[in-house]
Amino acid sequence: MFSTLVRNLAPSVSRTTATRSLACPSSSLARRAFASSSVVRAVTPPSGLPERERTIWEKLIDKFSPSQLRVEDVSGGCGTFYAIVIASDNFKGLPIVKQHRLVTDTLKQEIEGIHGLQIKTIVNSQ
């Protein structure tokens, strides 16, 4: 049911898993499931999120009150590259570059410690 809900909310974004690479030699797990969630304003992050993903999730919830939010460590669990999908009314009327700037400004402190960030912003349709 959850995966159907996610597909219905963002059909162009598929649910994936990230395979740990040689860049994460200390990892004991072979695969790490994609952490995603569809959110309502007062919802807490999904259980089991690593600390950095939880911090990113919480900051984006506080700033944007998104209708959809997904935070994924696509580096395979190393915490060096994240993919974020966020849908919010705050993006209405703004060009994509400004939408992404709002997200990166919100995560400025977290971005300093990572290698890369992929952002997809979605304007809520009403």
pLDDT tens-digit map of 12-60: 433 333 333 334 434 333 333 344 444 344 456 788 888 888 999 999 9
Give pTM, 2 decimals: 0.66
CA 92 to each of CA 21, 96, 99, 123: distance values in angstroms, whole numbers, following the listed order: 38, 10, 9, 6
Averaged pLDDT of the chain: 73
Residue 27 CA, chain-centre distance (Å), reads 21
Backbone angles phi, psi at 88, to 5 degrees: -155, 150
Q: How far is CA 87 from CA 21, 69, 84, 122, in A?
A: 30, 7, 10, 4
Residue 48 near residue 35 (C-beta atoms within 8 A): yes
Amino acid 23: pLDDT? 45
pLDDT tens digits for range 4-15 = 333 334 434 333
Please state which CATH number belongs to domain 31-123.
Answer: 3.30.300.90
pLDDT tens figures, 74-92: 998 888 999 999 999 999 9
